Amino acid sequence: MKRIFRFLVVVLMVSSLAGCNSSKRVTYFQDVTNESIVSLIGDGQIRIKPHDRLTVVVTSKDAELAAPFNSASSYNSLSTNPMGMSSSNGVQSLQIRTVDDKGMLYMPIIGDVYCVGKTRAELADEIANKIKTGGYISDATVNIQFADMKVFILGEVTRPGQYDIVRDRLTILEALAMAGDMTIYGNRSNVAVIRKVEGSEQNKIYQLDLLSTNVMSSPVYYLQQGDVVYVQPNRYKAATSEINQNRTFWLSIVSTLVSVATLITTIVLSTK
């Protein structure tokens, strides 16, 4: 009887929660007013860190001048084209370079370039200027793209997993959109962002309330490479899980009783 009573209580509680878990619990920015203005922290641009992997391509109208700067021999890893042939702008293939522990990125001819804390546009301009002022190529153009830069999205989202960063800015909302948004079971008032503390082996955990516009003023509103976003389950999910467990228990009891009744019936009939 105690189990039955507890089961009924849980059912009533879930029914109550279901009523409360309406648009009020799943709507973002519930404190927003008409023409609200929210201050953001920083420009949000992703800045290069040690161990980041970047594609660096130097181009020029003169392909022969650009080719040495795109040399495969000094790259950490290389994806070559099928025939290993040069293109018209002096780029032989997609080159990927890795920033070392000291924040240096090695470039052929001009040597190491310090890049930690810089955006990819800033680093591209610096490399291009070094090539130009060094008298190597007067019209040098440098293009830098992120390679293997990811964020990780876990918990109550439609498609949990790891996602590539392909732009210079990525907000928590954009990241959730990539993962198909939160499920109905996601706790929108308590989303965790785990970020590695620079220069240490420690992680810092931030708690975000996406029901409030104050989230836009958080230092983790703009995500960085390696960030982990975890959407915790809400009370409705926990209550639903308990109901499912109780349902399984009672189904097993009923199944056992049916089996016993069938066995008894068979024995009685066989003795007649």
Tens-digit pLDDT profile for residues 221-269: 999 999 999 999 988 755 565 544 555 555 566 666 666 667 666 666 6
Dihedral sign (CA 162, 163, 168, 169) = negative
Q: What percent of the chain has pLDDT over 90?
A: 55
**How much is the average pLDDT of 68-97?**
53
**What integer is the mean pLDDT of 137-143?**
95
Mean predicted confidence (pLDDT) in 41-47: 88
| Average pLDDT of the segment spanning 56-83 | 71
**Structure confidence at residue 247 (pLDDT):** 57
More confident residue, 197 or 269: 197
Q: Report the range of poorest mean pLDDT among 2-16, 94-108, 114-128.
A: 2-16
The whole-angstrom separation of Cα 82 and Cα 29 is: 50
Q: What does the pLDDT read at residue 85?
A: 34
Q: How many CA atoms lie within 13 A of 249 on its CB side?
A: 10
Question: According to the model, what pLDDT value does residue 42 have?
Answer: 78
Higher pLDDT, 100 or 32: 100
| pLDDT per position as a tens digit, 152-188 | 999 999 999 999 998 999 999 999 999 999 999 999 9
| pLDDT, greater one: 10 or 145 | 145
Cα–Cα distance, 254 to 256 (Å, whole number): 5
The pLDDT of residue 117 = 95
Tell me: pLDDT of 88 over 50: no
Domain architecture of the chain: domains with CATH: 22-44+149-235 (3.10.560.10), 53-147 (3.30.1950.10)
Lowest mean pLDDT across 85-89, 168-172, 208-212: 85-89
**Residue 97 burial (10 A CB sphere; 0-12, 13-18, 19+):** buried
Q: What is the mean pLDDT of the chain?
A: 80
* Cβ count near 147 (within 10 Å): 18
- Confidence (pLDDT) at 91: 42
**Is residue 21 scored above 90 in pLDDT?**
no
Rounded to an integer, what distance in angstroms lies between the CA atom of residue 159 and that of residue 229? 13
For residue 10, the surrounding DSSP H or E stretch is helix 2-20
